[in-house]
Amino acid sequence: DTAVSQTPKYLVTQMGNDKSIKCEQNLGHDTMYWYKQDSKKFLKIMFSYNNKELIINETVPNRFSPKSPDKAHLNLHINSLELGDSAVYFCASSQVGGYNEQFFGPGTRLTVL
Amino acid sequence: RKEVEQDPGPFNVPEGATVAFNCTYSNSASQSFFWYRQDCRKEPKLLMSVYSSGNEDGRFTAQLNRASQYISLLIRDSKLSDSATYLCVVNSIPGGGADGLTFGKGTHLIIQP
């Protein structure tokens, strides 16, 4: 199936740990993104990356870093996890900028204890 | 004033009724507008883009009012399957770019049999 996939679907971890979430898209899109949806359901963009340019939302702590091994993957690394990092993280992709449809992955529910 | 505002609801509507909700945005330079649908514990999916002239897709009609800076979504003959959260999305970056995407918190719609 053509889609955006993420692993793991659920992630429960202790404060202070380092974790990664993987994302892959097989839609041939040139731009990928990470979003965070908090407990109040507010969806906010964290990063966008298109092989040429990484755009970082200035509010994102530098403990969060995206890593793109190739055009089809954009993984999210989180260092020194904090309680406030608990949220659902969505990966997404689109073809050209924000005018085109964003295709979201199923989300990763992160719980920091 | 928040960038994108929506009435969170919930809107409880009987099956078959018509329901409409609005979304206001604060940035007059906003370029493009979308409605996304998000089911409980699922990822957002594009419902429809909103064009200046207004557009219709089956039972769904979207309107844009630039002068008053709001967009609307009208659902006719509502179905049980329309129950979801509807996210208003505004892009304020000329030329696109998902870093300019701002999501509203969503309007929760419940269609009752």
Name the pLDDT band for A97 (thresholds 50, 70, 90).
low
Structure tokens that stand for B97 in this block: 């770019």
In this predicted model, what pLDDT tens digit does every residue of A30-78 receive, in sequence order? 889 999 999 887 888 898 888 777 877 778 899 999 999 988 999 999 9
Residue A91's pLDDT is what?
A: 96
Residue B94's pLDDT is what?
A: 56
Residue A64's pLDDT is what?
A: 96
Strands B60-65 and B55-57: antiparallel
Residue B51's pLDDT is what?
A: 83
- Does A106 score more than 90 pLDDT? yes
Task: Search chain B and give the residue with CA nearest A91.
Answer: B43
Nearest CA distance, B93 vs chain A (angstrom):
8
Distances (CA, A) of A62 to A56, A66, A81: 10, 10, 12
Task: Search chain A and give the residue with CA nearest B103.
Answer: A43
Nearest CA distance, A39 vs chain B (angstrom):
11
Residue B44's pLDDT is what?
A: 95
Averaged pLDDT of chain A: 90
Which of A43, A101, A107 has the CB atom closest to B103's CB atom?
Answer: A43
- Does A22 score more than 60 pLDDT? yes
Chain B CB contacts of A42 under 8 Å are: 103, 105
Q: What is the mean pLDDT of each run of 10 residues along chain B (113 residues)?
A: 85 96 90 92 93 91 94 97 95 61 92 96
Say yes or no: A52 contacts chain B, CB-CB below 8 A.
no
Mean per-residue pLDDT for A7-24?
97
Nearest CA distance, B8 vs chain A (angstrom):
10
Residue B67's pLDDT is what?
A: 93
Residue A81's pLDDT is what?
A: 97
Task: Search chain B and give the residue with CA nearest A10.
Answer: B41
Chain B CB contacts of A90 under 8 Å are: 43-44
Strand locations in B1-113 (E): 4-6, 11-14, 19-25, 32-38, 44-50, 55-57, 60-65, 70-75, 84-91, 101-103, 107-112
Distances (CA, A) of A66 to A63, A73, B60: 10, 10, 37
B25 CB-side CA count, 13 A: 27
Residue type at position B74: L
Chain B CB contacts of A31 under 8 Å are: 98
Task: Search chain B and give the residue with CA nearest A99.
Answer: B96
Residue A79's pLDDT is what?
A: 97
Mean per-residue pLDDT for A5-28?
96
> Distance between CA atoms of A72 and A69, rounded to whole angstroms?
8
